Amino acid sequence: MRIFSGIQPTGRKHLGNYIGAITQYVALQEAGEAIICIVDLHATTVAYDPARLRSDLYDLAAVLLAAGLDPERCIFFRQSDVLEHAELQWLLMGSTAYGELTRMTQFKDKSAVQEFISAGIFSYPVLMAADILLYGTERVPVGDDQRQHIELTRDVAQRFNSRFGETFVVPEGVIPEVGARIMDLQNPEKKMSTTGGTPQGTVYVTDEPAAIIKKFKSAVTDSGREIRHADDKAGISNLLEILAVIRGTTVGRLEEEFAGAGYGDFKLAVGEAVVDYLAPVRERYTQLRADEDELEQVLATGADKARGVAAQTMTRVRRAMGVGPARAGR
Ligand code: AQP
């Protein structure tokens, strides 16, 4: 089974990214052929600092390796090292409807807070479709916020296939049942987010233990007393989900365990569990982050492998679309 997922090198990664996506990458590298890509081209669609982007990329590469991504078991690389991503994006634009892109909720949310709305942020989902389709991907592990982009990828692949002949595998998203949408601790009606979150409500993978405890202690809950998963208890439900994923148990079992406990004790228990969960990752991260040359080497080796797969797909795409010379390859 071919698995692909991309993750942006934007700022420090938070607990939502970690639970919703990164832990899935690590688990799925055992289940099939996993291809994990740091999508730096996506990060250029909003205002950014070039020097910071490179540094953020090394931060993320180190976090992913620290979390357990094994370059011997998966293909791990940087998007901009494989030129076929940008080429395929362009070729897929003709199979993507303008109206489809205007309906993307992430585009609406993100463009609402940008002074300069780039064409890149509008066509972002087509680059994401290219990332996925380039590798004959069958499964795409993502958090809940990517559901609409995966649907678009499927629609574009099907439209392309019916117009130009069977070329792409139509992929499916893999969205975890629990933890697919970790919420901001201060604003539990909104997802924990790199750009839209509150500083105190966003827990970073590399946060110091004391900072993590402080954030959980001040997590917003409700005026009730029951530790129970319910629609009108967004804060408590979020904490239950976080703890369920970390302990590898169910929300139901946790509700039984914490029946009668106070909110303060429960919040502290979740905070301590998160500290223990992230401590080894943070330790390995610090070691790996210190050697940028080694990180570059890992990414370069991954890019060589990725290019081999991408080149084969592009030969088929160009032939199907009548682009480039008639013979195979360029
Ligand atoms: N709150 C979340 N809960 C669960 N999964 C989440 N993901 C993101 N937020 C949550 C999943 O993380 C993966 C990587 O996301 P990305 O590449 O979009 O990284 P990002 O831009 O740094 O993450 P954000 O927080 O999603 O940024 P904003 O909110 O600014 O756009 C994806 O699989 C995503 O589903």
The CATH H-level superfamily of 209-287 is Tyrosyl-Transfer RNA Synthetase (1.10.240.10)
Per DSSP, 268 falls in state H
CB 218 near ligand 1, within 6 Å:
no
CB 15 near ligand 1, within 6 Å:
no
Summarize pLDDT for 276-298 with one digit per residue, the tens.
999 999 999 999 999 999 999 99
CB 146 near ligand 1, within 6 Å:
yes
Burial label for 276, CB within 10 Å (0-12, 13-18, 19+), is exposed
CB 245 near ligand 1, within 6 Å:
no
Summarize pLDDT for 218-271 with one digit per residue, the tens.
999 999 999 999 999 999 999 999 999 999 999 999 999 999 999 999 999 999
For 55, the token pair is 């540094």
CB 95 near ligand 1, within 6 Å:
no
Mutate to test the pocket of ligand 1, among 4, 8, 17 (most ligand atoms within 8 A of CB): 17
Ligand 1 mean position, distance from CA 143 (Å): 7
Ligand 1 mean position, distance from CA 221 (Å): 23
In CATH terms, 2-179+292-321 corresponds, of 3.90.440.10, 1.20.1630.10, 1.10.3720.10, 3.40.50.620, to 3.40.50.620
CB 10 near ligand 1, within 6 Å:
yes
Ligand 1 mean position, distance from CA 84 (Å): 24
Q: Return d(Cα 236, Cα 125) in angstroms, integer.
A: 33
DSSP secondary structure, 78-145, as one string: EGGG-THHHHHHHHHHTTS-HHHHHT-HHHHHHHHT-SS--HHHHHHHHHHHHHHHTTT-SEEE--GG
Whether residue 169 contacts residue 138, with contact meaning beta carbons closer than 8 Å, is answered with: yes
CB 42 near ligand 1, within 6 Å:
no
Predicted TM-score (pTM) of this structure: 0.94
Pairing of strands 172-174, 139-141: parallel
Per-domain residue ranges of the chain: 2-179+292-321, 209-287
Pairing of strands 2-7, 74-78: unpaired
Q: What is the band of 84 on the pLDDT scale with cuts at 50, 70, 90?
A: very high
pLDDT at 169 over 70: yes
CB 145 near ligand 1, within 6 Å:
yes
For the CA of 141, the closest atom of ligand 1 is: 33
The 8 Å CB, 24+ separation contacts for 165-168 are 165/320, 167/316, 167/317, 167/320, 168/133, 168/136
Mean pLDDT of 128-157: 97
Q: What is the band of 328 on the pLDDT scale with cuts at 50, 70, 90?
A: low
Question: Residue 23: how many CA atoms within 13 Å on its side-chain side?
Answer: 21
Protein residue with its CA nearest to atom 23 in ligand 1:
194
Q: What backbone torsions phi and psi does residue 215 show, to the nearest 5 degrees?
A: -65, -40
Cβ of 206: how many Cβ atoms within 10 Å?
18
CB 16 near ligand 1, within 6 Å:
yes
CB 196 near ligand 1, within 6 Å:
yes
